[in-house]
Every structure is written in structure tokens, then in C-alpha cells.
Amino acid sequence: MTERLVSHLRYTALAVPNFEAERDFFIRHWGLSEVKSEEGLVYLAAEGSPEPFILRLRRDEKRIDLVGFGVKNRDDLHKLAEKLRTEGVQFVHEPKELTQPGGGYGFRVFDGDGRVLEFSTDVVLRESRKIREREPIPVKLSHTVFNSKNLNETVQWYIDHLDFAISDSLVRPDGGDMMHFLRCNANHHSIAVAMGPHHSLHHLSFEMRGIEEWMRGAGKILRSGTRMIWGPGRHNAGDNTFAYFLSPAGNTIEYTTELAVIDEDTYHPSRHDISHLSTQDQWGTAAEMSELVARESFNDIDKGLFVAPPV
């Protein structure tokens, strides 16, 4: 099994123009808790996660500000920084003490498409709790998915530089690649990359306690007046449930549960033909995937590539 220097996904940070509406939605309806806020900036935690925060929102032009990953200790963090430096990866800043909630020590770089990635360790974890039976709020951030015009080149960047591995892929009937699911630990995927018309956020996914809580959560969001884009259903790749909604800022967000945990020593990736109905939804309860449904997650063009966020 590969000994990776990146241990897990910590958080995703987004910039949105309608900051107040997006913040209020994630607190009032989605079920996240405010940790810290200042003018035009808020850090939101999941009650079931010890991470200091799992989502950061900032008022600005719409973009992915950055995606944060954990590293086990300072030795590993310095090994990773030296590896990336040797491989010519562009740094936003070198390892230093961090000042966000939970603090920690870390550095930031640009990925191959120009998104900002943060790697951190020595973070002060928050006191989390077990989500109660039938409580319809997220346990944690499950995964973050990007759109990229350069699907295979982008995925190869994560394989070459961060030792991520492809768990499964979605392909066209002619064998052309459409989406790759990437893991940095035993979870089936922490990120994924989809073929898109431009670089942008595809969706953010939040893990629920179980099927009952996932269904109750989906019902809660529907009753809030939020439109469901696709679902409820169960994917083949990852074997997780899905219910996709559109946030006030037009970002696709997902409630999911039961994402597969794999044995990396024995697991073999599959290539799933998207023309097979069971590839997208094993249960057959969601609408059939179509260009109209897919287009909802293309999102707006990310204009923040190779531009570091101000915080």
C-alpha cells in the first residue's frame, strides 16, 4: 500500500458574491455551525467532525478559494513541501504558522489547473459529537469535485505530485474518459475530477449519519424551497447515496452517505460506462442522467485560477 504524505480532506473554501444568503443557507438549512465570522468571511463546522471547520465562505467574485488537506506531522509536511518544490510545483507560500480557526502549520500551492491547495498539520481539533439517530445534519465534508477542461492531465497531476490513486472512472460508450474518482486514504474518494467545458467547482458533498438521516436531510432541504437537481439515488462508483441541490450562489451541493471504504491492497479500479443506467443510479429512483442534468454542475467559469485568495 502506498504511504502517502497527504492524509485526508479537511475543508473547502469558496468565494461567493451573495455572501449573506449563502452563509444563512448553510447555517439555517444545510446544518453547519458557525465557528468564526468577520466582515465578509465565515468559517463553518460540521457537528460530527473534529476538523476546526469544513467550509469557508468569503464575499467576492465566485470562485474556489482553496481546498485544504491534512498531513500527519511536521516531518511529513516538510517532506511533501520539498517533494513539490523539487518537482517544480508553484508555491503560494512556504510552510508557516497558520492563523485560521484551529491554527496549525502549513503551506499552499497551485495545482495543475491553478486551484489553490493547502496542506496543514498540528491543527487544534474541535470537540465534535456523535450525530443523533434521525438528526438530519452533516457529519463531515465527504468530498470535493472539480470540473476541468484537461481531465486526464489534471488527474495525473494529483497522482504524480500527491500520490493520489484512481479508485474508479466513468467513461463514454466509446471508452473516452468522463470522470475520475481519486483517493488519498481508504475512503473511495476525497476528490474527483469531471470533464467540463471550463475549470470550476462541480460539487461539494457532505456525509450524513446513515440512510435515514440522509433521506430526512433531503426532505428538509426540499421543504426549505431549494431545488433538487438530481436524486435521490445511489451511485455505482463509490456505492454512495446522492441527493444534489443548488445553493443560493448556484453551487451544486450534495447530501450523501455510505461512501465505500476500500482495502487498498486488494482493490482494483473499474471503468463504468455512463450509458448503463445502473452506473449513475443503482436504485433507478433518480431521473436518468442527461445533458440537462449534467449542465447544472458545470457551474460558472472559475476566474480565480493561479490567483491566491487574500486569506
* pLDDT digits 0-9 by tens, 53-92: 999 999 999 999 999 999 999 999 999 999 999 999 999 9
Residues 198 and 150 in one domain: yes
pLDDT of residue 45: 98
**Alpha carbon distance 33, 132 (integer Å):** 16
Q: Is residue 158 located within the same domain as residue 292?
A: yes
Among 65, 92, 121, the domain-final residue is 121
Statement to judge: residues 151 and 267 lie in one domain: yes
Helical ranges in the chain per DSSP H: 19-25, 74-86, 151-162, 211-223, 277-280, 291-296
User: Do the domain assignments include residue 144?
Assistant: yes
Whether 246 has a pLDDT exceeding 80, the answer reads yes
Contacts of 155 (CB under 8 A, 6+ apart): 166, 180, 182, 193
Q: What are phi and psi of 17, to 5 degrees?
A: -75, -35
Domain range spanning residue 243? 140-296
Domain termination residue (choose one: 121, 155, 188): 121
146 and 100 inside one domain: no
Report pLDDT for 1. Answer: 53
Residue 190 clears pLDDT 90, i.e. is over it: yes
Cα–Cα distance, 117 to 151 (Å, whole number)? 18
Stretch 251-272: mean pLDDT: 97
CB distance 205 to 191 below 8 Å = no
Name the domain count of the chain: 2
pLDDT band at 278 (very low <50, low <70, confident <90, very high): confident
Structure confidence at residue 259 (pLDDT) = 98
79 Cβ contact list (under 8 Å, min separation 6)? 5
Does 130 map to a domain? no
Average pLDDT of the chain is 96
| Residues 273 and 223 grouped into a single domain | yes
Q: Say whether pLDDT at 25 is over 90.
A: yes
- Does 126 map to a domain? no
CATH label of the domain that carries residue 240:
3.10.180.10
pLDDT tens-digit readout, 113-123: 999 999 999 99
- pLDDT score for 149: 96
Q: Are 256 and 142 in contact (CB under 8 A)?
A: yes
Is 238 within a domain?
Answer: yes
Tell me, yes or no, whether 128 lies in a domain. no
Least confidently predicted of 141-150, 262-271, 287-296? 287-296
Kindly state the helix (H) or strand (E) to which residue 167 belongs, with its residue range.
strand 165-171
Residue 150 contacts by C-beta under 8 Å, 6 or more apart in sequence?
112, 113
Confidence of residue 291 (pLDDT cuts 50, 70, 90): confident
Considering the domain architecture, whether residues 157 and 76 belong to the same structural domain is answered as no
In this structure, what C-alpha cell is assigned to residue 135? 438528526
Position 223 scores a pLDDT of: 97
Domain identity same for 149 and 116 = no
Question: 172 and 283, same structural domain?
Answer: yes
**Which of 121, 149, 182 is at the close of a domain?**
121
Looking at the fold, whether 287 and 177 belong to one and the same domain comes out as: yes
First-to-final CA distance of the chain: 36
pLDDT above 70 as % of the chain: 99
Residue 48 lies in a domain: yes
Angle at 139 between CA 134 and CA 144, to 5 degrees: 130
In a domain, residue 224? The reply is yes
- CA–CA separation, 210 and 114 (whole Å): 35
Residue 232 is given by DSSP the state E
* 295 pLDDT above the threshold of 90: no
29/152 same-domain check: no
Instruction: Please state, in angstroms and as integers, the Cα–Cα distance from residue 299 to each residue in 11, 66, 122, 247, 258, following that order.
Output: 20, 16, 34, 11, 26
Looking at the structure, tell me whether residues 88 and 200 fall in a common domain. no
Q: Is the pLDDT of residue 21 over 80?
A: yes
Which pLDDT belongs to residue 2?
61
Amino acid at 116: V
Tell me: pLDDT of 134 over 70.
yes
Domain assignment present for 129: no
Phi-psi region of 87 (alpha: psi -120 to 50; beta: other; left: phi over 0): alpha
Q: Check whether residue 109 and residue 187 sit in a common domain.
A: no
Q: What is the DSSP string of 247-286?
A: -TTS-EEEEE----B--TTT---EEEETTSHHHH-SSS-S
